[in-house]
Amino acid sequence: LTSFRKKSSVNLLDLIKNDLSNLGINNPQLSFSFSKLLDFSSSGLDSINLLFSANKGYELKKVTDIASGGEISRLMLCVKKHLFAVNNFSSIIFDEIDAGVSGEIGRKMGRVLKDMSQTRQVICITHLPQIASLGDTHYYVYKDEAKTSSKTKIIKLTNSQRVEEIARMLSGDEVNDEAFANAKKMLDI
């Protein structure tokens, strides 16, 4: 198992580096650090750490110690993209995979999610209009609060409701004509 992991890690690193470059991390450096455990764990005898640097000339360190929120989001998307491609899952759920990113990078991440959805179902919970506008179907999730309880509810948005929601995501509470125009452009309407 250790030998297979080490061999597979080389191919995975090349794929992830390429994807990270496409997501705005121009000089990603990645490596897996393998060490042998004294006793078997539920995942074998290996302790594996992902080492990372987003900048040329910087030392590789554990991803948990060095990466920003946006870098972690992009890295996780890349890893999950390739795991999804080789596993036989019928669907995958991303809960705010876009944390720490916005604008152009958010749109690029949305395109990765869109590409993934061409073969199997991708469900994405997002607050970024750049990602939400690329979905085939758009649901609005909200909490309905009563005096003593709250319930989470979900509704499928119509095309016009979707424009309104994207416009709201773009501009906040005060939706104006520019936000509606931008929402329609993002949705290709």
Provide DSSP, the chain.
Answer: -HHHHHHHHHHHHHHHHHHHHHTT-SS-EEEEEEEEEEEEETTEEEEEEEEEESSTTPPPEEHHHH--HHHHHHHHHHHHHHHHHHS--SEEEEESTTTT--HHHHHHHHHHHHHHTTTSEEEEE-S-HHHHTT-SS-EEEEEEE-SS-EEEEEEEPPHHHHHHHHHHHHHTTS--HHHHHHHHHHTT-
**Position 123, amino acid:** I
The per-residue pLDDT for 52 is 95
The per-residue pLDDT for 87 is 87
Confidence class for position 155, pLDDT limits 50, 70, 90: very high
Task: State CA 108 to chain mean position distance.
Answer: 10
Asked whether the beta carbons of 122 and 133 are under 8 A apart, the reply is no
Give this prediction's pTM.
0.87
Using CB atoms within 10 Å of the CB of residue 31, give its burial: 0 to 12 exposed, 13 to 18 middle, 19+ buried. Answer: middle
User: What is the Cα–Cα distance from 53 to 68, expressed in whole angstroms?
Assistant: 10
Question: Mind listing the pLDDT tens digit for each residue in 2-39?
Answer: 898 899 899 899 999 999 999 999 999 999 999 999 99
Confidence class for position 42, pLDDT limits 50, 70, 90: confident
- Average confidence score pLDDT of the chain: 93
The per-residue pLDDT for 88 is 84
Mean pLDDT of the 133-162 span: 95
